[in-house]
Structure 1
Amino acid sequence: MSGKEGTAPVDFHCHLDLCPDMRGAFDRCEAVRCITLAVTTTPKAFRRNQAMAGSNRYVHAALGLHPQLVAERADELTLFEEAAPSTRFIGEVGLDAGRRFYPSFALQTQVFERAMTLCARLGDKVISLHSVRTAKQVLDIVERTGVHRTCTPILHWFTGSKSEIRRAIDLGCYFSVNEQMLKTLRGRSLLETVPLARLLTETDAPFQSGADGPKAPGDIEGAVSMIAESHQIRAEYIKASVRATAKALVGE
């Protein structure tokens, strides 16, 4: 691996299909050799993302059923189950107990547990997990289904307590972090607790805001700087570490 590629960006949770120019977003990530997990919010959206990723080396489309959409899209769980064997990458899935989405929480739980049971049985999945106000419940389902034993769970924008972070580490989870979350007390606590080898960078584009508006996919410099400051290690070393972790997860 060349030195330049070894420090190329990693964006392990972003929504390329929700960017204003979907094709351009895919092409830019590939052009800069950004290892990208392009998560989707519905199984119907996954097929288009999968086709657009095509033979790309660096951009990987993930099959998702977002908890915030479960109330109106639960019937797509069958499509999720049909598509799951065709991909190693799952996301965005999980639970959301925010005020707007709590009315569907029981249904979210049923859908998420069924999805994780399937992934546990199929094995060899890399899974990006949503856990808004539900760290304990998400980890309970990860543990109960045994998906952590056959797959690799990655907690996206995780805001759990230190004890929940340690529990997730014990379960073998990884964590994808972005600049906006790392500016919070919970984000800094995560950096103090999680081993560097379990960290990945993400943008959650186009949903993370920066000084100049929404973050573009692959724009992880701010997150890298904050990780480097926390660990008192040069940014180039952080980039190389994150890159090595991402390459191992995607099977390069």
Structure 2
Amino acid sequence: MIDFHCHLDLFPSPAAAAAEIDHAGTYVLSVTNTPKAFPNTAQFAKGRRRIRTALGLHPQLVHERHGEVGMFVRLLGETGYVGEIGIDGGEDSVRHLDTQKDVFRRLLRACADAGGRVMSIHSRHASGEVIEAIQRQPDAGLPVFHWFSGPVAHAQKAADMGAWFSVGLPMLRSRRASAMIGILPRDRVLTETDAPFASTSGESYPTKALSLSVAALARLWGLDEKATQKQLNDNLRRMVAQADRFRVAAHAGS
């Protein structure tokens, strides 16, 4: 199974969650919310070949942590993966929209200067702004829209420019799931949990949520679960192969 957006460091016991991930054989992208969190979070992936740690600066924290952009740039050489980054236009964050846009632009520029990265991107209530920023910096790498909740027209625009999407159980069970999933290219979709913020009701890693996500996606695609999981596995392999052109292969173990 595949979890392309998980906040491993924010579990009550990250080490226990990492052990559960290992036991289940799940491939996980462990995202971080601040550059300062990256070094310690990366330790949980040590010796675990299925966990990759992403370097992030969450848009909801940008107004407080924009001083860490320099640290982000310095740490970028340690991983081929970036996330969670982006723009948030929600009620609590919209007043910092200008700062968010500036920081997101700087992070994309840093990724481009580093040769490109695989990027897990937040776009809640700001999908238009995020798409515009990525279009202005196309050499930043491979954008993967995490839990896309914008208009279907924006999903189509993102798909047309080559973006990928990670989808989780709440998204797949929403009323608009059928219309949204119908837009997303099947060969550019991966599953996610966004745990521990979503997909889990306890302290343990939500392995079951991933199997339920595969089942929900299978229904929406009109496939059986085995074929759906094969499609997702093929997608992950393609992403890793495609990442080579962004020169992240040297960091694949990070």
| TM over 0.5, shorter chain | yes
Q: Mean alpha-carbon deviation: is it higher for 199-208 or for 220-229?
A: 220-229
**Which letter maps to 2:22?**
E
Measured after TM superposition, the shift of residue 215 of structure 1 is 7.7
Identity %: 34
CA distance in 2, matches of 1:139, 1:204: 21
Q: Which residue of 2 aligns with 1:3?
A: none
Q: Could you list the per-position Cα deviations for residues 127-178 of structure 1 after superposition, in whole angstroms to 9, with x for gaps in the alignment? A: 000001000100000000113xx51110000012222111111111110000
- Runs of 5+ consecutive residues of structure 2 not aligned to the other structure: 242-251
CA distance in 2, matches of 1:60, 1:156: 16
Within a 5 Å distance, the mapping from 1:112-191 to structure 2 comes to 112-147=104-139, 151-191=141-181
TM-score normalised over the length of structure 2: 0.89
Measured after TM superposition, the shift of residue 56 of structure 1 is 1.9
CA distance in 2, matches of 1:109, 1:180: 27
Q: Which residue of 2 aligns with 1:221?
A: 211
Aligned partner (choices 53, 70, 90) of residue 78 of structure 1? 70
Q: Is the CA contact 1:92–1:128 (under 8 Å) kept in the aligned structure 2?
A: yes
CA distance in 1, matches of 2:108, 2:146: 16
Which runs of at least 4 in structure 1 moved beyond 3 Å after TM superposition? 212-215
CA distance in 2, matches of 1:47, 1:214: 23
Q: Which residue of 2 aligns with 1:4?
A: none
Say whether 1:96 aligns with 2:88. yes
**Which letter maps to 2:26?**
C
* CA gap 1:123/1:217 in 2 versus in 1, 3 angstroms: farther
CA distance in 1, matches of 2:138, 2:6: 26
Aligned partner (choices 42, 58, 64) of residue 34 of structure 2? 42
* CA gap 1:84/1:217 in 2 versus in 1, 3 angstroms: farther
CA distance in 1, matches of 2:108, 2:48: 27
Aligned partner (choices 223, 226, 248) of residue 238 of structure 2? 248
CA distance in 2, matches of 1:158, 1:215: 25
Q: Is the CA contact 1:208–1:215 (under 8 Å) kept in the aligned structure 2?
A: no
TM-score normalised over the length of structure 1: 0.90
Q: Could you list the per-position Cα deviations for residues 189-211 of structure 1 after superposition, in whole angstroms to 9, with x for gaps in the alignment? A: 2211112111100000011145x
Q: Supply the RMSD in Å over aligned alpha carbons.
A: 1.7
Say whether 1:206 aligns with 2:196. yes
Secondary structure of 2:87 counterpart: strand
Measured after TM superposition, the shift of residue 183 of structure 1 is 1.8
- Runs of 5+ consecutive residues of structure 1 not aligned to the other structure: 1-8
